[in-house]
Chain A
Amino acid sequence: MFMDPTGRTNASEAGFHLARNGAGTLLVRLAGSWTIAEGIPSTAEIAREIESDPRIRRVIFDTENLQSWDSSLLTFLVKLLELCRGADVEAVRDGLPAGARRLITLATAVPEEKGARRAAGTETFLSRIGAGTIGILSGGTETLSFIGESFLAFLRLLRGKARFRRCDLTLLIQDCGAQALPIVSLISVLVGLILAFVGAIQLRLFGAQIYVADLVGIGMAREMGAMMTAIIMAGRTGAAFAAQLGTMQVNEEIDALRTLGISPIDFLVLPRMIALVLMLPLLCLYANLMGILGGAMVGVGMLDLSVVQYFNETRDAIRLTDFMAGLFKSGVFGILIALSGCLRGMQCGRSSSAVGLAATSAVVTGIVAIVVADAVLTVIYDLLGI
């Protein structure tokens, strides 16, 4: 925030006046109380003055009316001194407060490290595209190698050679399973309710209310149960995985595992993957039932169907294959959520903000992967006639 230094008469406000002290000397009278809360006056006026009058060879200061000062004065002065150096004008610091003089000496004592300063936000469009592309490519190879390593770890698990603590697995299973029940219940009842409601309005036009049961049953079993639990778990558990592994990365805990010759993939990723792959289909099954319950609420409450009618219609509508199709999907989603959470955690940088980013990007990656996989699986099911 820049303030116009001129026209400032109130003595307590920061400002300065310019005056000539002989032909070659510019006198800067600093006045008022310079506090950072008030902003920093601009040096533009002085720059104009120096530029417009080439006779000026010296800048001197007068601080008689200066009441108090903090970093705002220092910032102003450092900028002014820089300006004077650029214009080859001598700045006489004698008139400045002694404390400010010493701090300026300190600030200019160590010359700026060459090459250390990075251009702030002035990348060209092309270089950003280039950097983005390189980022995507290297991110792609990293992702592939992570998936490969996880697969190898899975093979080791099958041969009974993977090493992780069984009690970690138990805790993770509890966290991915039982503790997710309340939220899964709530969401899937509501989803069933919504499905039934939307369907009911249309079907009632044809007097075909009873088919709401088919709609909800098949919709939940084949699609919505798996999808909704997966999205809930991506937000809940995928993010948690990324944050846990990211924090371990920041704390050098993962380094400590590596140097002990314990594979972090075996030790950390594998139990998380197993827990999710085991628990997600169970949650999905549970969500299916809750969704059908939600549908029944609408059917019984709004469409005057009896509970028995609704139950029989549902039972006739859903084949076992429909359930299996949904459960298989949710197993795949479980792998994807665990992979994306753990991948982002392992890629995490070494700062606390990186942990936040890892969690966010785990959720985004997870949801994108879920939706893409769902589309692919739906097409495959269709081709196979499932």
Chain B
Amino acid sequence: MSGLDREVHIEVQDLTMAYGSFVIQRDLNFKVRRGDVFIIMGGSGCGKSTLLRHMVGLKEPARGKVYYEGVDFWSVEVKEREAMMRRFGILYQSGALWSSMTLAENIALPLEEYTDLSPSEVREVVSLKLSLVGLAGFEEFYPSEISGGMRKRAGLARAMALDPDILFFDEPSAGLDPISARRLDDLILELRESLGSTIVVVTHELASIFAIGTNSVFLDSETKTMIAGGDPRELLETSHDPKVRSFLTRDAPEERSD
């Protein structure tokens, strides 16, 4: 599985992202290999979530390409793109559980849509997924009845419903206490080990970055482009860019990092 010659799973080429004429980031170039835990980092508001939206098919690039296994994600037919998106699992920043459905129904929906499982089989798979994230027994709860950390984990269970090739996480540990955050990190690593999924994580939690990251890209909001990339631990040792260094070592008297 490991090794430098692992195949390139996701490639981003010359990506420019903009809302209307307001450019968020330009000229992004990076590759994610199969099995990587790829970290998208940078200060608040630099465009991390926006980059994720471009990678999962929610927002079309202003310029540039996103390739999955060599297939140009944004120039294929809508149907084909939807088929590719079905191989993604996404944990949104707010969990994004459908609030009018119970946890079980949330996780069951993708299964009912895209598999031929019988209702009782669906129920079994749902219970399995919930128990994987430590929520066994919460099937009949509504998202508003559980805590924020549990909602995140339930969102993860839904993201894993179809056994995705790639898991995307938007700030998984934001708003969680350190222990829950740590458990979520462990869970992410466990998933990569056991499912062999590629994982893309947006985060600015240093602990997570060093604990789980194998590759990364650092977005800067001032220059509006990426200013570093690579294994975060190597980056910490080799990068001379003051912004990257102060972000990764967290001593930034003159920088506002939040």
Chain A: residues with CB nearer than 8 A to chain B? 109-110, 163, 168, 247-248, 251-253, 255-262
| Known contacts A248-B99, A252-B96, A253-B98; A259 and B90 CB within 8 A of each other | yes
B46 to chain A, nearest CB (A): 13
Is residue B230 within 8 Å, beta carbon to beta carbon, of the partner chain?
A: no
Could you tell me if B98 and A256 are in contact, using CB atoms closer than 8 angstroms? Answer: yes
Contacts of A110 in B (CB 8 A): 254, 256
Which residue of chain A has the shortest Cβ distance to B59 in the bound complex? Answer: A255
CB distance from A172 to the nearest CB of B (A): 11
Across the interface, B94 reaches (CB within 8 A) one of A163, A251, A260, namely A251
Asked whether B58 lies within 8 Å of A261 as measured between CB atoms, the reply is no
Chain B, interface size category, equals 20 to 34
Q: How far is the CB of A130 from chain B (nearest CB, A)?
A: 14
Given contacts A259-B57, A262-B113, whether A252 and B254 have CB atoms under 8 Å apart is: no
Give the docked Cα–Cα distance between A60 and B256 (Å): 31
Task: Determine the main DSSP class of A at the interface with B.
Answer: helix
B 74-101 contacts with A by CB, 8 A: 82-83, 85-86, 88, 90, 92-100
A163 to B95 alpha-carbon distance, docked (Å):
23
Q: Are B92 and A255 in contact (CB under 8 A)?
A: yes
Set of chain A residues within 8 Å of B109, measured between Cβ atoms: 260, 262
Which single member of B85, B97, B98 contacts A261 (CB below 8 Å)? B85
Q: Which residues of B are in contact with A by a Cβ distance under 8 Å?
A: 53, 56-58, 82-83, 85-86, 88, 90, 92-100, 109-110, 113-114, 158, 254, 256
Taking A248-B99, A252-B92, A252-B94 as contacts, is the C-beta distance between A258 and B113 under 8 angstroms? no
Q: How far is the CA of A260 from the CA of B85 in the complex (A)?
A: 7
A-B contacts, 26 listed (Cβ < 8 Å): A110-B254, A110-B256, A163-B113, A247-B99, A248-B98, A251-B95, A252-B93, A252-B94, A253-B98, A255-B58, A256-B92, A256-B96, A256-B97, A256-B98, A256-B158, A258-B57, A259-B57, A259-B58, A259-B88, A260-B85, A260-B113, A261-B86, A261-B113, A261-B114, A262-B109, A262-B113
| Residues on B with beta carbons closer than 8 Å to the beta carbon of A252 | 92-94, 96
B58 neighbours in A (Cβ, 8 Å): 255, 258-259
Nearest CB of chain A from residue B7's CB, rounded to whole Å: 24
CA distance A259 to B113 in the complex (A): 13
Report the Cα distance A253→B85, complex, angstroms. 16
Alpha-carbon distance A86/B191, docked complex (angstroms): 60
Identity of the chain B residue whose Cβ is nearest the Cβ of A247 in the assembled complex: B99
Distance (whole angstroms) from the CB of B160 to the closest CB of chain A: 13
| Residues of B contacting A258 in the complex (Cβ-Cβ under 8 angstroms) | 57-58
Question: Given A163-B113, A168-B100, A251-B99 in contact, is the A256-B254 Cβ separation under 8 Å?
Answer: no
The 6 closest A-B CB pairs, nearest first, are A252-B96, A261-B82, A252-B92, A256-B96, A253-B96, A259-B56
18 new A-B contacts, CB < 8 A, other than A259-B58, A260-B113, A261-B82, are: A109-B254, A110-B254, A168-B100, A248-B98, A248-B99, A251-B94, A251-B99, A252-B92, A252-B94, A252-B96, A256-B90, A256-B96, A256-B97, A257-B98, A259-B56, A260-B86, A261-B85, A261-B86
- Closest Cβ of chain B to A83, distance in Å, is 26
Closest to B106 in A: A256
Which of B96, B99, B110 contacts A255, CB < 8 Å? Answer: B96
Q: Report A-chain residues with C-beta under 8 Å of the C-beta of B114.
A: 261
Report yes or no: A260 in contact with B92, Cβ–Cβ below 8 A.
no
Smallest CB gap from A168: residue in B:
B100
Residue of A whose beta carbon sits closest to that of B255: A110
Set of chain A residues within 8 Å of B99, measured between Cβ atoms:
247-248, 251, 253
